[in-house]
Chains A and B, each alone.
Chain A
Amino acid sequence: MSLIEIENVSKEYKSGTEIVTAVNNISLEIDRGQFITIMGESGSGKSTLLTMLGGLSVPSKGKVLIDDLNIYALPQNNLSDFRREYLGFVFQTFHLIPYLTVEENVMVPLAVGDLTRIQKKEIVHATLDKVHLKEKSKRLINELSGGEQQRVAIARALINDPLIILADEPTGNLDSKTSEDIMDIFGFLVEESKTILLVTHNKVYQSYADKKIFLKDGKIYGGD
């Protein structure tokens, strides 16, 4: 049984009177521990597919099953809880909270859980250690470089030890040297057998992938 199964999923957006089909009838199975890359031109529907997988955007048609759970059939609160337990997101523009420190940003997903203060601290420090940011844990976000900010975002995605990491062009805003640092971390996560879906324009990363998905006009085309 696959960890992620999507069946005939479509997403349509209304823009004015026009209907834009961002994702068009895609079916896909992803196994536990697989490293998947999603590629395609701008506007091909990569982000839309990822947010549907992440329980952030309801498909217009079709089902998303994760761990055999039809996630969009869940009540809203349970879907939120599910996201917190199963998923970690990493975005191109980092999406950190500017008025929180590094440590606090990483701790955000834990603030609604019921761990003790000491447990939270321990987990945060261990996670910051993984992304080599332990010494900067008290800094505010705007005191960090882009690469460092993305590492904070990755730490936040990892804090709940999720099964699945969804990363939407995590190196899109970074120079090539910094990008390599970030990809090293992803390589490390692959070794840890996290299930990773990575949207990227960079062909180099394809070589690591267990499965490559090419999108064009909201459809899967070619690939393997």
Chain B
Amino acid sequence: MKIYSIAFQSLRRRKTKTIFLIIGLFLSVTSVVTLITVSENINRSVAINLDEFGANIIITPKSDQLMINYGGLSLGEVSFNNSQLSDNDLQKINTIKNRKNLSIIAPKLFETVNLKGKNVLIAGVRFSDELKLKKWWVIKGKSPLPPNNILVGSNTAEALRIKLNDTVSINEQRLVVSGILSNTGSQDDGLIFMDIFTAQTLFRKLSKLSLIEIAALCYDCPIEDIVSQTSSVLPTANVTPIKQNIESKMMAVHSFERFSLGISLVMLVTSFLIVFANVNSSITERTKEIGIFKSVGYRNSHILQIILTEVIAASLTAGLLGFFAGISASKLVLPFLSMHGLSSFTYNFTTLPIAVLLSLFVGITACIYPAIKASRLDPTVAFRFI
């Protein structure tokens, strides 16, 4: 038998006390783990779904003659004739420090043409990127794949009486309408989309671009960083963040994080008090026991060791149990909190050491004062209580 065996027997044979001690710590660990896991999952789902909110950075050339309004946003003036952006700029953007945060880069070339007596704005796009950027698009027909296919916005289709699979002639190039965009309520309804390379060839603007849209997954780094990094590689361009696309969403996430932090603190203080009261009262009850240990020649440090071993063992147990309970609780509550429905639930095993350390921290800080007080108890006083 060693000193710690005394502590273990005390935990084992005085079950009610032990269980109360563990429950005090367990509750706070569980709630902290739940809150951490829930906010992690919500943040992650925001990050994954961030591109669903469209572009959050727009790059336009600096010197311009015409105003263009795109996507309901004023983009400043865009030069149609003397485009200063080019395909080279796309490569430059891919050299910035936070390039991993750039989830979609969608270059565009705009050109007005006269079709059936009406001015129509043509947008040359990379369809692969554009479709990712505009997840809300509903296309009747096929999304255009071959270079001579076009996608027509609903208003334009109506105004020009263009139907699916019609052929449209632009600059003497025959193009097939492979898809018609359902009403989006945005500027896109008035556009005709075609492959950007086809547009560049057709309008003799090889490698020229009118603007570049970027969707950056930037939920934990400031979007300003990405903007300034991009500006420095493109000194002749305007790089404009579109904050309102993500800010309200981020605000919801951050306020949930603050709420979690608040609850965690309250739970920690509560369990600190539970453990403190528990250890303190059990030490008063154990006065006689401490007198016995002293009378058989235990040092103060031996007595402290017994009390601390008990608290540490209880804290470790509470930390482990609390971790798994917290993960399970998160799994239960997340579907009610997530607005996207939960595609996948993840939890982080780094939360386990956090849980255990937290439990130990609360356990030890709550018991250290009563424990030291107990170990210094005068044994003759201890025996007089009996």
A and B held together in a complex: yes
Q: Which residues of A contact B (CB under 8 A)?
A: 51, 54, 56-57, 76-77, 80-85, 87, 89, 91, 93, 95-97, 99-100, 104, 107-112, 117, 120, 140, 156, 160
**Complex Cα distance A89/B297, Å?**
10
When A97-B289, A108-B6, A110-B1 are in contact, do A80 and B295 touch as well, CB less than 8 Å? no
Some 26 contacts from A to B, beta carbons below 8 A apart, are: A51-B379, A54-B295, A56-B295, A56-B379, A57-B378, A76-B300, A77-B300, A80-B297, A80-B298, A82-B297, A84-B296, A84-B297, A89-B295, A89-B296, A93-B386, A95-B295, A96-B292, A97-B292, A99-B9, A99-B14, A100-B6, A100-B9, A104-B1, A111-B2, A117-B1, A120-B1
Interface readout for B1-43 with A: 1 if CB under 8 Å, 0 if not?
1110110011011100000000000000000000000000000
Query: Which residues of the partner chain B approach A87 to less than 8 Å between Cβ atoms?
Result: 297
Query: Which residues of the partner chain B approach A82 to less than 8 Å between Cβ atoms?
Result: 297
Question: Quick check: B299 and A95 within 8 Å, CB to CB?
Answer: no
| Chain B contacts with A in 290-308, Cβ cutoff 8 A | 291-302
Query: Which residues of the partner chain A approach B386 to less than 8 Å between Cβ atoms?
Result: 93, 95
With an 8 A cutoff between CB atoms, is B369 at the interface?
no
Query: Which residues of the partner chain A approach B9 to less than 8 Å between Cβ atoms?
Result: 99-100, 104
Question: Quick check: B297 and A51 within 8 Å, CB to CB?
Answer: no
Question: Quick check: B298 and A107 within 8 Å, CB to CB?
Answer: no
Q: Given known contacts A89-B296, A108-B296, what 9 new A-B pairs fall within 8 Å (CB)?
A: A56-B379, A77-B299, A80-B294, A83-B294, A83-B295, A100-B6, A104-B1, A110-B1, A112-B3
| Chain B contacts with A in 233-279, Cβ cutoff 8 A | none
Query: Which residues of the partner chain B approach A77 to less than 8 Å between Cβ atoms?
Result: 299-301
Query: Which residues of the partner chain B approach A109 to less than 8 Å between Cβ atoms?
Result: 296-297
Closest to A77 in B: B299
**Complex Cα distance A104/B302, Å?**
16
Query: Which residues of the partner chain A approach B3 to less than 8 Å between Cβ atoms?
Result: 111-112
**Complex Cα distance A2/B157, Å?**
119
With an 8 A cutoff between CB atoms, is B383 at the interface?
yes
Question: Quick check: A83 and B383 within 8 Å, CB to CB?
Answer: no
Q: Which residues of B contact A (CB under 8 A)?
A: 1-3, 5-6, 9-10, 12-14, 288-289, 291-302, 378-380, 383, 386
The contact of A99 among B2, B10, B293, B294, by CB within 8 Å, is B10
Closest to A76 in B: B300
Query: Which residues of the partner chain B approach A76 to less than 8 Å between Cβ atoms?
Result: 299-300
Question: Quick check: A81 and B297 within 8 Å, CB to CB?
Answer: yes
**Complex Cα distance A100/B286, Å?**
14
Question: Quick check: B1 and A112 within 8 Å, CB to CB?
Answer: no
Question: Quick check: B6 and A111 within 8 Å, CB to CB?
Answer: yes
Say what secondary structure dominates the interface of chain B.
Answer: helix
Query: Which residues of the partner chain A approach B379 to less than 8 Å between Cβ atoms?
Result: 51, 56-57
Closest to A100 in B: B9
Query: Which residues of the partner chain B approach A51 to less than 8 Å between Cβ atoms?
Result: 379-380
Query: Which residues of the partner chain A approach B296 to less than 8 Å between Cβ atoms?
Result: 83-84, 89, 108-109, 156
How near does chain B come to A105, taking the closest CB pair, in angstroms?
Answer: 9
How near does chain A come to B6, taking the closest CB pair, in angstroms?
Answer: 6
**Complex Cα distance A156/B293, Å?**
11
Question: Quick check: B383 and A95 within 8 Å, CB to CB?
Answer: yes
Query: Which residues of the partner chain A approach B297 to less than 8 Å between Cβ atoms?
Result: 80-85, 87, 109, 112, 160
How near does chain B come to A162, taking the closest CB pair, in angstroms?
Answer: 10
Query: Which residues of the partner chain B approach A97 to less than 8 Å between Cβ atoms?
Result: 6, 289, 292
**Complex Cα distance A109/B296, Å?**
6
How near does chain B come to A68, taking the closest CB pair, in angstroms?
Answer: 19
How near does chain A come to B153, taking the closest CB pair, in angstroms?
Answer: 81
**Complex Cα distance A110/B1, Å?**
8
Query: Which residues of the partner chain B approach A104 to less than 8 Å between Cβ atoms?
Result: 1, 5-6, 9
Closest to B302 in A: A112
Closest to A101 in B: B9
**Complex Cα distance A54/B294, Å?**
11
How near does chain B come to A183, taking the closest CB pair, in angstroms?
Answer: 22
**Complex Cα distance A83/B315, Å?**
33
Q: 8 nearest interchain CB pairs? A: A84-B297, A99-B13, A83-B297, A109-B296, A80-B299, A57-B380, A107-B1, A56-B379
**Complex Cα distance A109/B294, Å?**
10
**Complex Cα distance A56/B379, Å?**
6
Closest to B2 in A: A111
**Complex Cα distance A156/B292, Å?**
11
Closest to B300 in A: A76
Query: Which residues of the partner chain B approach A56 to less than 8 Å between Cβ atoms?
Result: 294-295, 379-380
**Complex Cα distance A76/B376, Å?**
11
**Complex Cα distance A198/B202, Å?**
116
Query: Which residues of the partner chain B approach A83 to less than 8 Å between Cβ atoms?
Result: 294-297
**Complex Cα distance A81/B12, Å?**
28
Query: Which residues of the partner chain B approach A93 to less than 8 Å between Cβ atoms?
Result: 386
How near does chain A come to B136, taking the closest CB pair, in angstroms?
Answer: 67
